[in-house]
Protein backbone atom coordinates (compact mmCIF):
# COMPACT_ATOMS: atom_id res chain seq x y z
CA UNK A 1 0.00 0.00 0.00
CA UNK A 2 1.41 3.40 -1.00
CA UNK A 3 1.03 5.71 2.03
CA UNK A 4 2.47 9.07 2.95
CA UNK A 5 2.87 10.06 6.58
CA UNK A 6 0.98 13.22 7.51
CA UNK A 7 3.52 15.81 8.58
CA UNK A 8 2.62 18.44 11.15
CA UNK A 9 2.37 20.91 8.27
CA UNK A 10 -0.53 19.01 6.63
CA UNK A 11 -3.04 18.76 9.49
CA UNK A 12 -3.17 18.20 13.21
CA UNK A 13 -5.72 16.79 15.66
CA UNK A 14 -5.75 18.35 19.14
CA UNK A 15 -5.96 16.19 22.27
CA UNK A 16 -9.60 17.30 22.81
CA UNK A 17 -10.54 16.28 19.26
CA UNK A 18 -8.72 12.94 19.63
CA UNK A 19 -10.58 12.23 22.88
CA UNK A 20 -13.93 12.88 21.19
CA UNK A 21 -13.00 10.67 18.21
CA UNK A 22 -12.07 7.85 20.62
CA UNK A 23 -15.43 8.25 22.41
CA UNK A 24 -17.34 8.18 19.12
CA UNK A 25 -15.45 5.13 17.91
CA UNK A 26 -16.07 3.29 21.20
CA UNK A 27 -19.82 3.89 20.80
CA UNK A 28 -20.03 1.82 17.61
CA UNK A 29 -18.26 -1.58 17.48
CA UNK A 30 -18.28 -1.45 13.65
CA UNK A 31 -15.77 1.43 13.84
CA UNK A 32 -13.26 -0.23 16.16
CA UNK A 33 -9.84 -0.36 14.56
CA UNK A 34 -10.78 2.00 11.71
CA UNK A 35 -8.87 5.23 11.21
CA UNK A 36 -10.60 8.60 11.01
CA UNK A 37 -10.80 9.90 7.44
CA UNK A 38 -10.85 13.68 7.12
CA UNK A 39 -11.75 14.97 3.67
CA UNK A 40 -13.12 17.86 1.66
CA UNK A 41 -15.75 17.66 -1.06
CA UNK A 42 -17.77 20.04 -3.18
CA UNK A 43 -20.88 21.44 -1.53
CA UNK A 44 -22.01 23.63 1.30
CA UNK A 45 -22.84 27.30 1.05
CA UNK A 46 -19.21 28.35 0.46
CA UNK A 47 -18.28 25.86 -2.28
CA UNK A 48 -16.48 23.10 -0.38
CA UNK A 49 -17.30 21.25 2.82
CA UNK A 50 -15.44 19.17 5.38
CA UNK A 51 -16.23 15.57 6.18
CA UNK A 52 -15.09 13.06 8.76
CA UNK A 53 -15.89 9.35 8.77
CA UNK A 54 -14.39 6.14 10.12
CA UNK A 55 -13.02 4.35 7.08
CA UNK A 56 -10.38 1.96 5.79
CA UNK A 57 -6.99 3.06 4.50
CA UNK A 58 -6.78 3.45 0.74
CA UNK A 59 -3.84 3.48 -1.61
CA UNK A 60 -2.26 6.93 -1.79
CA UNK A 61 -3.65 8.07 1.58
CA UNK A 62 -1.63 10.35 3.82
CA UNK A 63 -1.52 8.61 7.22
CA UNK A 64 -0.73 10.03 10.64
CA UNK A 65 -1.40 9.46 14.31
CA UNK A 66 -2.39 12.18 16.75
CA UNK A 67 -2.89 11.46 20.47
CA UNK A 68 -3.58 7.79 19.72
CA UNK A 69 -5.96 8.39 16.80
CA UNK A 70 -4.97 7.27 13.33
CA UNK A 71 -6.00 9.81 10.68
CA UNK A 72 -6.08 9.29 6.92
CA UNK A 73 -6.43 11.96 4.24
CA UNK A 74 -6.64 11.42 0.49
CA UNK A 75 -4.17 13.29 -1.72
CA UNK A 76 -6.72 15.76 -3.15
CA UNK A 77 -8.09 16.67 0.29
CA UNK A 78 -4.54 17.04 1.63
CA UNK A 79 -3.98 19.92 -0.79
CA UNK A 80 -6.94 21.79 0.75
CA UNK A 81 -6.15 20.83 4.36
CA UNK A 82 -2.53 22.02 4.50
CA UNK A 83 -1.91 23.53 7.95
CA UNK A 84 -5.39 22.66 9.28
CA UNK A 85 -6.02 22.08 12.99
CA UNK A 86 -9.03 20.01 14.10
CA UNK A 87 -10.20 20.76 17.65
CA UNK A 88 -13.27 19.89 19.73
CA UNK A 89 -15.32 21.92 22.18
CA UNK A 90 -18.07 20.51 24.40
CA UNK A 91 -19.63 23.92 25.07
CA UNK A 92 -23.41 23.98 25.09
CA UNK A 93 -23.52 26.80 22.56
CA UNK A 94 -21.25 26.42 19.55
CA UNK A 95 -19.75 23.13 20.65
CA UNK A 96 -18.54 20.36 18.34
CA UNK A 97 -15.56 19.86 16.06
CA UNK A 98 -13.81 23.09 15.09
CA UNK A 99 -11.74 23.12 11.92
CA UNK A 100 -9.19 25.93 11.55
CA UNK A 101 -8.00 25.92 7.96
CA UNK A 102 -5.51 28.64 6.94
CA UNK A 103 -6.27 27.95 3.27
CA UNK A 104 -9.95 28.87 3.68
CA UNK A 105 -10.47 32.37 2.30
CA UNK A 106 -14.13 32.41 3.26
CA UNK A 107 -16.34 30.19 5.37
CA UNK A 108 -19.99 30.00 6.26
CA UNK A 109 -21.43 30.73 9.67
CA UNK A 110 -21.78 27.05 10.56
CA UNK A 111 -18.07 26.38 9.97
CA UNK A 112 -18.77 23.26 7.92
CA UNK A 113 -18.05 24.74 4.49
CA UNK A 114 -15.37 27.00 3.05
CA UNK A 115 -14.03 28.53 -0.13
CA UNK A 116 -10.42 28.87 -1.26
Per the structure, the complete domain to which residue 92 belongs is given by 4-115
Q: Say how many domains are in the chain.
A: 1
pLDDT of residue 114: 44
pLDDT of residue 88: 94
Q: What is the pLDDT along the chain (116 residues), one digit of tens a residue?
A: 555 555 544 799 999 999 999 999 999 999 999 999 999 988 766 578 889 999 999 999 999 999 999 999 999 999 999 899 999 998 888 789 999 888 886 555 545 444 55
pLDDT of residue 10: 77
pLDDT of residue 104: 80
DSSP-assigned states of every residue in the chain: ---EEPPTTTEEE-HHHHHHHHHHHHT-GGGTTPPEEEEEEE-STTSEEEEEEE----TT-EEEEETTEEEEE-HHHHHHHTTEEEEEE--TTT-EEEEE-TT-SEE-TTSSEEE-
- Please report, for the domain that includes residue 105, its CATH number: 2.60.300.12
Amino acid sequence: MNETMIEDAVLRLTAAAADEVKALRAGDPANLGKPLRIFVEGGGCSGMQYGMVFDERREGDHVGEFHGVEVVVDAVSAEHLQGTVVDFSDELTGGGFKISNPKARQSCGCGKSFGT
